[in-house]
Amino acid sequence: MEKSAWFVWPFMLGFMFALAVLLLRYLWWLRSLLRRPSSRLLSRMFSKHSLLAVREIFSEGLLHLRIYKRNRRLGFMHMSLALGWFMMIVGGKFETWFHSGQFLHGTWYAVFFRYFEPQTVGGWAGTFWLHYMDFGLLLVLTGLALAIVKRIRKKVLGIHSTTRHTLVNRVALTFLWMIFPLRLVAEALTFGQHGGGGFLTGALGRCCFTSGTLAGLELPFWWAYSLSLGAFFVVLPFSRYLHIPTEMVLILLRHWGLQAAEDLQPEKALQAFEIHACSSCGLCLDVCPAIKDHPFQSAYFLRALRSGKGWESLASTCLSCGACEEACPINLGLEKLRMAARGKIHEKHHAVYSYLPTVGPVETSKVDVLLFTGCMGRLKPATTKALKDLFEEAGLSWVHLDEQESICCGRPLALAGRASEASALREHNRSLIKGQQARMLVTTCPICLKQFRDDYRLELPVYHHSEVLWSCLSSGSLKREKGTACFSYHDPCELGRKSTCYQAPRELLQSCGTLLSLEREQADALCCGNSLGSLSLSLSERQALTSRTLKVLEVPGAQSIVTSCPLCQHNLARQSSLPVKDLAEVLAVTGLPEQQGQRKAALAAVQEL
Amino acid sequence: MPKPDFGFSFAPNRALELSVPLLPEVQAVLEAEPSIRACMACGQCAAVCTAGVFTPLAFYRLVLQLWAGEVEVVGQRAQHCMLCGKCQMTCPRGVNIRNALLLMAALLPPKP
Amino acid sequence: MRSSEYINKDEVAIIGGGPAGMQTALVLSARGFSVRIYEQKEQLGGHLKGWHHLFPHGVAASDLLGALKEQVLARAIPLHLGQTVDHLQKVGEGWELWQGETVVGRAGVVVLANGFALFDARRKEEYGYGLYPSVLTSADLEAVFRKERPWPFGPDCAAPQIGFVHCVGSRDLKCGSPHCSKLCCVTAVKQAMAVKAFFPEAQVYCFYMDLRMHGLEYEELYRKAQVDYGVRFIRGRLSEAAPGQGKRLHVKAEDTLQGRPLHLQLDMLVLMSGMVPTFVLEQQERAVFFKEPVFGSGFVPVQGFLAAGSVVQQKGLFASGACKGPATLPEVFADAAAVACEVEQYLKSLKAVAHA
Ligand SMILES: Cc1cc2nc3c(=O)[nH]c(=O)nc-3n(C[C@H](O)[C@H](O)[C@H](O)COP(=O)(O)OP(=O)(O)OC[C@H]3O[C@@H](n4cnc5c(N)ncnc54)[C@H](O)[C@@H]3O)c2cc1C
Ligand code: SF4
Ligand code: SF4
Ligand code: SF4
Ligand code: SF4
Ligand code: SF4
Ligand code: SF4
């Protein structure tokens, strides 16, 4: 090598530095695991799970397929940046191997290869590598252009909100943006002066940089390229770009069966990797119902956790509606993390339920349904009555477990991060259910539903009333005729996103009327604003969210709004200009076959007397 | 020195002394959840309370006791709350009762 | 282009034929102005025609209404019954009154006297209005007094247990009505006494948050209810109504003075529904539309302290009576006279400008 190689040092130093810091941080996060490696992890490490992980790293870390599915333009931007850079790294390795016949080189060699060997071509295969490397560079530059556009005009990329960055991130961003244009100019200068190059760099060199007066610029541009690379690497481990390597490790660790802790440990194990794997892609911003009022969205929450400052209020305010978790392209366990943070805030909170009455041995008569309406159910007599009427009509027998007094299912405690305190409540309700001879447990509250399903380990199946009613309809024990009624349906977060029950309510409504389609529904539905998930959101902020949700629901033609959660119904009903009903209430009086309708009216008239 | 015995005693003063500043822990609770100040002691929260059927938990009373500086009782009673949120649903003044109770139980822990 | 010439600048149109509308019309007519009343119902009277007797002295509502109507007839004030004005169009200095696509009247000045609406108690589902026949609103109970509907319990029930719930849909941010309706406390007292007069053996409870006895002699009425009628006042809120023994309702409440929860079986539960706006004004270019109120809508706003009834930012548009917020009949009558004076001033000032 005759040419001066001093300029590679900034890159080399930066790169080594980044590598060392990353290694140290990862080892620190994994410290407990290294001390006591779990056998499960080791066995998974050498199995198909690692291959699956590699596949996911490729599809998510490089191709960003999940972002692409949500938002094509944004997905393309991420894909072109990551894939292009990846192509250049791999291609660089192969190109130097091809030309030198030697696989191992200093890391800098491939990065700055064309400075040292501008004219080496090497037949058609060498030409291929030249164009291949240029293609990689072009891809990155396209991504870069989109990223700049996104900063200036976010709407162009189909998003409404971008994350606001801190200083270190802006510095990193600046260096990152400089790297590739500098490489383009440096290579083009070299090719312009010495000939050669691919379709991009070579052509640019031939058209702009052949003049001998520019020869003096060649080395300075390579210096600048190296410097910006080096600087970027130095800040990388302290900026959001840490997510690039971290996401890959996270995917591996997840496939190896590692799970996030229940308590907050932002510098430990899987949680640390999750917190640092967030790319601030911003997908969680646009879906959040509260985006205009509050910057507490997951991207900000995770950033606060990384810096260790101010995460408390962000964790308490969020509604836990689950929209961001649904949207997050790297499937971060955001709710679990938030609950862990809430648990940490209220660490000193301790509950005492020694006052709960003991449940004596329950009488066991065989029934079809154990009905649990929950605390909120007591405020919704119309729903309970309608449901009982429907059970009667369908020929189902039932026992109303909590008709007199009810004890909370425990999920509200879990949503406050105090799941551990709820065991006494669960025990109480479990003893109510145990010993009953029933085919199923039915709840009218989706919050209870989730809790019973996930945490109670009951011997009988648990259903939401919409699911049971739908099955009655399918089996023919309930009959409905399509009428002229026109509904819009609100998906409760806890029933939709949290329990993926979207179809049953829709089938029920379509059986007796017309269901209107909405701008945001199913997994994209907005929270009603009344979620138990938020601890500190004020009433006026909640009401602002509710009116925004009502704007989506009050579509032209809708005669009533239907939902299937007592909290949502309570909240929407107070604020809406349209009547807001529970599914059961609607089904009890709508679409009744002719004769049956008359019989019902007659019965009601008799009861009035 | 043993107290002199005059053969009679004065009852302790029961009056609330409003010119004395609020206890710092009371201030901490009020600061962390300012909506507590909006409570008008209507009793709706107690009427609906899931736990109140079994135990003397009544949120509005805890608020009154908080103002009176009776932090021991407040901390102890707040532990009985199930956080079910029924009270908050019906409170006409929009007090964030669940958060207030969490804070009361966490910041005013009863002495063991 | 319509000219404003065909509008008689001195004519006053009054929207609403309730106590406020009638009284405003009477005062203006007595002072020599030509007035017309536009009323959406087929009869004059507004809410007053649904009441049985009036606090604080127990005057029969029909007597008062009869006297008002008689005067309106005597003065031959033109009535446009069955006409629901839904928007106004400004033409020159005056107004056109519209019902849908047709002009139903023209006037130099319009006085809104559209009154109030009762809060829809079905929105408080936990109290079971519309679900349990024994849950009534205060207006329903007046209808019972007027023998327009039956008592919700049978004749066999000589000693009914009866509860009144104050502040239903008032003083409630969750319902979008933060205001106090001001007269439901005394109405509850009046009705509780009336119920006791019908059923001397009845046990009557009033569940209140604060008792707002703001008017002259209201406090005396409250004392009378306690001492002479044995009505029990419980400071606390009701939780929910549920089916109880037989046809009774089971209610849970908190007695905030005792600091204890209480349970009760009731034969009748009366909800003191609050007063809410009937419509909100919406300006669209030179038209003012009367729109369905939405969550949190306020009453008709007037300009500052010194104005009795000039509607904010609308020259020549005035408001009288309970459309500006909860008011009792004496207040409505006093207000109507004040608004009439203001209208007169306005018309005189227009004339002065024309002369100059
Ligand atoms: C339960 C109850 C009991 C009460 N008891 C008493 C009592 O004992 N003593 C007492 O002093 N006060 C009492 N009040 C208060 C009293 O009813 C009111 O002060 C009074 O009715 C207000 O009169 P108003 O004319 O302003 O409104 P309203 O009585 O509401 O009359 C408004 C009129 O305007 C008409 N209108 C509305 N919109 C339009 C439109 N767009 N076009 C045409 N017409 C329209 C309506 O049909 C109605 O006739 C009671 C109130 C309640 C709720
Ligand atoms: S949390 Fe997920 S969706 Fe939100 S910015 Fe981070 S990676 Fe994107
Ligand atoms: S859970 Fe819902 S409210 Fe909370 S940050 Fe995510 S999207 Fe926003
Ligand atoms: S989940 Fe809801 S309704 Fe169910 S018990 Fe808990 S708070 Fe009550
Ligand atoms: S319901 Fe609300 S305002 Fe009423 S006493 Fe309870 S906290 Fe206070
Ligand atoms: S959240 Fe606590 S205080 Fe409120 S109703 Fe439930 S148990 Fe009672
Ligand atoms: S007058 Fe009495 S009942 Fe009516 S809203 Fe005011 S306080 Fe409540």
Cβ neighbourhood burial of A211 (10 Å; 0-12, 13-18, 19+): exposed
- Are A236 and A300 in the same domain? no
Are the C-beta atoms of C22 and C37 separated by less than 8 Å?
yes
Query: Å from C254 to nearest chain B CA?
Result: 5
Q: What separation in Å is there between the alpha carbon of B84 and the centre of ligand 4? A: 6
Domain boundary among A439, A471, A503: A471
A576 and A459 assigned to the same domain? no
User: Average pLDDT per run of 10 along chain C, which is 356 residues long?
Assistant: 64 97 98 96 97 96 98 97 96 93 95 97 93 96 97 91 97 95 97 96 97 95 97 95 91 94 95 96 94 92 88 93 97 97 93 78
Say if residue A403 is in the same domain as residue A515. Answer: no
**Looking at the domain assignment, is residue B79 inside a domain?**
yes
Q: Whose CA is nearest to atom 2 of ligand 5?
A: B91
Asked whether residue B78 is domain-assigned, the answer is yes
Nearest CA to C322 out of C117, C158, C42, C168 is that of: C117
In sequence order, the 6+-apart residues with CB closer than 8 A to the CB of C280 are C290, C291, C292, C293, C294, C297, C298
Strand partners, C94: C91
Token output for C73: 């007839």
Beta bridge partners of C311: C302
Give the nearest partner residue to B58 out of C126, C210, C259, using CB atoms: C259
Give C170's contacts in chain A (Cβ within 8 Å): none
* Mean per-residue pLDDT of chain B: 91
B42 lines ligand 5 (CB under 6 A): yes
B66, part of any domain: yes
Residue bearing tokens 């080496």: A120
Residue A294 lies in a domain: yes
Whether A344 and A264 have beta carbons less than 8 Å apart is answered as yes
Nearest alpha carbon to residue A226 among A60, A4, A448: A4
Structurally, chain A folds into a number of domains equal to 4
C251 DSSP β-pair partners: C241, C264
CATH number assigned to the domain covering C12-115+278-355: 3.50.50.60
Kindly give the distance from the C-alpha atom of residue A580 to the centroid of ligand 2, in angstroms, as a whole number. 34
- What integer pLDDT is reported at residue B1 of this predicted model? 62
Residues A199 and A89 in one domain: yes
Phi and psi torsions of C290, nearest 5°:
-100, 105
Q: Of the candidates C321, C322, C300, which has an alpha carbon nearest to the alpha carbon of residue C311?
A: C300
Sheet containing C268-273: give its strands across: C135-137, C268-273, C161-168, C203-208, C232-235
Ligand number, closest to the Cα atom of C216:
1
Query: Both tokens of residue A262?
Result: 């229940």
Residue B52 lies in a domain: yes
Work out how many domains chain B is built from and give that number.
Answer: 1
**Shared domain check, A379 and A427:** yes
Cβ <8 Å between B52 and C254: yes
pTM: 0.89
Mean pLDDT value across residues B88-92: 95
- Find the domain containing A215 and state its range: 65-242
> What are the distances in angstroms from CA A531 to CA A319, A570, A571, B100?
6, 11, 10, 16
The candidate with the shortest Cα–Cα distance to C51, out of C130, C141, C151, is: C141
Res C1: pLDDT: 41
Alpha carbon of A336 to ligand 2 centroid (Å): 15
Please report whether residue A535 resides in a domain: yes
Q: Where are the domains of chain C?
A: 12-115+278-355, 121-275
C295–A382 CB contact, under 8 Å? no
The answer as to whether A554 is a domain residue is: yes
The ipTM estimated for the assembled molecules is 0.89
d(CA A91, CA A109): 13
Domain containing residue A407: CATH number: 3.40.50
- Give the closest residue to C318 by CA, choosing from C350, C299, C353, C342: C342
Q: Return the bridge partners of C98, or none.
A: C87, C103
Same domain, A588 and A519: yes
A332-355 burial: b if 16+ Cβ within 10 Å, else e: bbbbbbbbbbbbbbbeebbbbbee
Domain assignment present for residue B12? The answer is no
Does some domain include residue A267?
A: no
SS3 category, A124: helix
Kindly state the helix (H) or strand (E) to which residue A199 belongs, with its residue range.
none
Identify whether residues A109 and A196 lie together within a single domain.
yes
Q: Mutate which of A339, A345, A349 to disrupt the B interface (most B C-beta within 10 Å)?
A: A349
Q: Of A392, A389, A402, which is closest to residue A367 (Cα–Cα)?
A: A392
Q: Which of A385, A575, A576 has its CB closest to that of C131?
A: A385
Q: Which ligand is nearest to the CA of C173?
A: 5
The string of DSSP codes covering C261-315 is EEEEEESEEEEEEPEEES-EEEEETTEEEEE---TT-----B-TTT-SSBBTT-T
Q: Judge if the upstream peptide bond of residue C293 is cis by omega within 30 degrees of 0.
A: no
A213 shares a domain with A126: yes
Please report which confidence band the pLDDT of residue B53 belongs to, taking 50, 70 and 90 as the band edges.
Answer: confident
The CB of B97 under 6 Å from ligand 6? The reply is yes
Place of tokens 């419980």: C234
A160 class by beta-carbon count within 10 Å (0-12 exposed, 13-18 middle, 19+ buried) = exposed
A94 by Cβ neighbours in 10 Å (0-12 / 13-18 / 19+) ranks as middle
Residues of chain A with pLDDT under 70: 1-4, 361-364, 605-609
Nearest to A150 by CA among A39, A246, A95, A76: A76
Give B-chain residues touching C174 at CB under 8 angstroms. 90-92, 94
Distance between start and end Cα atoms, chain C: 27
C121-275 and C12-115+278-355 share a CATH fold: yes
Say if residues C54 and C187 touch (Cβ distance below 8 Å). Answer: no
Identify the domain containing residue B56 by its residue range: 43-105
- Using a 6 Å cutoff on CB, does residue A401 contact ligand 4? no
Q: In angstroms, rounded to a whole number, what is the distance separating the alpha carbons of residues C21 and C39?
A: 9
- C119 sits in the region (left: phi over 0; alpha: psi -120 to 50; else beta) called beta
- Read off the tokens for B64: 């009154």
Closest CA to C114 of C43, C47, C31: C47
Q: Are strands A462-464 and A486-489 parallel, antiparallel or unpaired?
A: unpaired
C-beta of B61 in contact with ligand 6 (< 6 A): no
**Alpha-carbon span A190 to C154, nearest angstrom:** 104
For C121-275, which CATH superfamily applies? FAD/NAD(P)-binding domain (3.50.50.60)
SS (H, E, C) A488-520: EECCCCCCCCCCCCCHHHHHHHHHHCEECCCCC
